[in-house]
C-alpha cells in the first residue's frame, strides 16, 4: 500500500457538524497540525414543515471568530424535491440566508456545499435547484455531495450540474438492521459500489469518517443514538458483552446523556485507521482520483483517536 502512496498528501480539511460553533484549543491545534486551510461547517438544514413547505432549521450559532476559509454546508431532505417545488424561489431564499450568515459572522468563503441524497425521481428538481442557486451565487462555487449509490447507478441518478462533487464514504450500511456489524463504514459494502472500472465525469473531493457512536436497540428496533461513545465506556459491569462490538444493558443507566433501559442491545461502531487505509487502497484500483480529503468530523471526543500523523498517512494513500 505504501508503494502506491502519493509523494505528497492531499490537502486535509474537516467537517464541523454541531449547532454551536466554538472550537477548543485542541481542535485548533489539530487544524494547525494538518495544515488545514478551510473548514466545512453545517449552516442549517432544510426540511418540510407541517404544511409541506421547505423551511430552514437548526441554524448554527457562531460564538467564536474564525479566520480560516469556511465552506457553508446545507443539508436538504430529499423529500423537499418530491413535490412540484418552486426551485427558483427556494434557491433565492437560501442564497439570501447564506449571504446574510456569512456577512453577519464576518466569514471568508469561496464555496457552498449542498448535501442531499437525491434519487432518480427527484433529480430533475434537485438539479434545477443547483443551477438556480449557482446563478444567484456567482461569486461562490456551488458543490454537492455524492453518495456511493449515485456513483454506481449514475446512469439512473444522473450527474449533478456542478464543477465538483464530494464522495461520501461513510454511513454505508443499514443502520436500523440489528444484524449489521458496522453501518458507518464497511469495506465489504464499499466493494459492492467501487471497482477497477469505476469513474465519474466531474472532479471529486473525498469525505472519510472519524467518529464513533453507540446504537441502542430496544425490542429489536433502533431506538436512539448515543454520539461520541467509546468502546471502553461499554466495558464495565453495567453492560454484558455479547459480541465483538455488541453489549446488553444490565440496568437502567444514562450513556452520554442518552437513556438506556435494562435489556437494551447496544452496538458500538467506529472507523478505524486500518479500515480507512484498506478503503484508500481499494480506491487506488479504481479510475477515481481526489483533490481534497475531508474528515467527518472535527469532534472534541475524537482527538485522542485520530492524530495528524495518522490522518496524513490516510491522505497519502488516497489516489
Instruction: Report pLDDT digits (tens) over 239-255.
Output: 999 999 999 999 999 99
Place of cell 437494551: 264
* Contact yes or no for 74/102 (Cβ under 8 A): no
Does residue 261 have a pLDDT over 50?
yes
What pLDDT does 30 receive?
94
| Cβ-based burial of 49 (10 A; exposed 0-12, middle 13-18, buried ≥19) | exposed
Mean pLDDT for all residues in the chain: 94
Does residue 286 have a pLDDT over 70?
yes
Pairing between strand 69-76 and 38-48?
Answer: parallel
Mean pLDDT of 38-54: 96
Query: Containing H/E element for 100?
Result: helix 87-104
pTM: 0.94
* Contact yes or no for 229/256 (Cβ under 8 A): yes
Q: Map out the domains of the chain as residue ranges.
A: 2-211+271-317, 212-269
What pLDDT does 303 receive?
77
* Contact yes or no for 62/105 (Cβ under 8 A): yes
Among 251, 252, 246, 250, smallest CA distance to 266 is for 246
Mean pLDDT of 261-288: 95
Mean pLDDT of 46-68: 95
DSSP states along 183-218: SS--HHHHTTT--TT---SSEEEEEEE--EEEEEEE
Q: Give the pLDDT band of residue 306 (cuts 50, 70, 90).
A: confident
Q: Give the pLDDT band of residue 2 (cuts 50, 70, 90).
A: very low
Q: Give the pLDDT band of residue 8 (cuts 50, 70, 90).
A: low
Does residue 25 have a pLDDT over 90?
yes
What pLDDT does 7 receive?
54
Lowest mean pLDDT among 3-12, 41-50, 97-106: 3-12
Does residue 28 have a pLDDT over 90?
yes
What pLDDT does 3 receive?
41
DSSP reduced 3-state for 239: strand
Mean pLDDT of 21-30: 94
Which CATH number among 3.20.20.80, 1.10.3720.10, 2.60.40.10, 1.20.120.1200 corresponds to the domain 2-211+271-317? 3.20.20.80
**146 is written with which cell numbers?**
455524492
Mean pLDDT of 39-47: 98
* Contact yes or no for 170/183 (Cβ under 8 A): no
Percent share of the chain, pLDDT over 90: 91
Helices (H), 55-172: 87-104, 123-136, 148-152, 154-157
Q: What angle do CA 302, 306, 309 make, to 5 degrees?
A: 155
Amino acid at each position: 500500500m505504501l508503494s502506491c502512496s502519493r509523494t505528497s498528501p492531499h490537502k486535509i480539511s474537516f467537517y464541523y457538524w454541531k449547532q454551536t460553533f466554538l472550537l477548543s484549543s485542541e481542535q485548533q491545534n489539530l487544524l494547525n497540525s494538518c495544515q488545514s486551510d478551510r473548514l466545512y461547517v453545517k449552516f442549517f438544514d432544510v426540511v418540510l414543515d407541517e404544511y409541506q413547505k421547505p423551511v430552514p432549521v437548526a441554524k448554527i450559532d457562531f460564538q467564536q471568530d474564525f479566520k480560516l476559509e469556511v465552506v457553508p454546508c446545507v443539508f436538504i431532505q430529499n423529500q423537499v424535491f418530491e413535490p412540484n417545488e418552486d426551485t427558483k424561489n427556494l434557491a433565492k431564499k437560501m442564497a439570501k440566508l447564506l449571504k446574510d450568515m456569512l456577512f453577519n459572522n464576518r466569514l471568508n468563503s469561496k464555496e457552498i456545499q449542498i448535501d442531499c441524497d437525491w434519487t432518480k425521481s427527484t433529480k430533475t428538481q434537485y438539479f434545477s435547484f443547483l443551477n438556480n442557486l449557482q446563478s444567484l451565487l456567482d461569486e461562490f462555487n456551488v458543490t454537492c455531495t455524492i453518495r456511493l449509490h449515485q456513483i454506481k447507478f449514475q446512469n439512473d441518478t444522473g450527474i449533478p450540474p456542478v464543477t465538483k462533487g464530494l464522495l461520501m464514504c461513510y454511513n454505508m450500511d443499514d443502520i436500523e438492521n440489528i444484524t449489521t456489524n458496522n453501518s458507518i463504514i464497511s469495506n465489504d459494502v464499499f466493494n459492492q459500489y467501487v471497482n477497477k472500472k469505476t469513474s465519474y465525469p466531474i472532479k471529486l473531493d473525498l469525505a472519510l469518517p472519524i467518529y464513533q457512536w453507540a446504537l441502542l436497540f430496544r425490542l429489536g428496533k433502533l431506538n436512539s443514538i448515543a454520539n461520541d461513545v467509546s468502546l471502553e465506556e461499554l466495558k464495565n459491569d453495567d453492560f454484558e458483552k455479547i459480541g465483538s462490538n455488541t453489549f446488553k444493558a444490565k440496568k437502567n443507566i444514562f450513556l452520554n446523556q442518552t437513556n438506556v433501559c435494562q435489556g437494551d442491545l447496544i452496538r458500538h461502531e467506529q472507523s478505524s485507521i486500518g479500515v480507512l487505509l484498506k478503503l484508500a487502497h481499494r480506491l487506488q484500483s479504481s479510475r477515481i482520483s481526489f483533490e481534497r480529503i475531508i474528515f467527518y468530523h472535527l469532534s472534541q471526543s475524537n482527538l485522542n483517536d485520530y492524530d495528524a500523523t495518522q490522518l496524513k498517512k490516510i491522505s497519502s494513500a488516497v489516489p
